[in-house]
Amino acid sequence: MCFVSNNTDLRVKEIADRVNIPFIARAKKPRRRSFRKAMALMDTKPEHTAVVGDQIFTDILGGNRLGLFTVLVSPISRKEFIGTRLVRILEKIILERNKKKYGLK
């Protein structure tokens, strides 16, 4: 496992150190470079790597760009940066369309 975050080194390190997991901070997701670095740290190939994240336009898009298996989860907290809250509106529209398109609940 490896944390890949757009957050600062200090913030990510604090959590990663608690659980003894390597991390990449300031990842600039959805760029592929940080995901490649994570796979190098874990010594995995794309077909054996999954991305679990709560944002479509960073985590999921970034993983999909490399052909990784992606899992969209619900955010842990409602407290978010204003830019993220605005993007969540667009994510909600996309999710609702996909639910209708694929008959999901």
- Average pLDDT (10-18) is 95
* Residue with the larger pLDDT of the pair 12 and 100: 12
Q: In this predicted model, what pLDDT tens digit does every residue of 17-59 receive, in sequence order?
A: 999 999 999 999 999 999 999 999 999 999 999 999 999 999 9
Number of residues that make up the chain? 105
Spatial distance between the Cα atoms of 4 and 69, rounded to a whole number of angstroms: 15
Domains belonging to the chain, first-starting first, are 3-74 (3.40.50.1000)
Q: Which two tokens stand for residue 79?
A: 């407290």
| pLDDT grade for 86, boundaries at 50, 70 and 90 | confident
Cβ-based neighbours of 18, under 8 Å, separated by 6 or more: none
Query: Residue 7: what residue type?
Result: N
pLDDT at residue 96, rounded to an integer: 86
Quick one: DSSP state of residue 101? H
Record the pTM.
0.82
Spatial distance between the Cα atoms of 44 and 22, rounded to a whole number of angstroms: 14
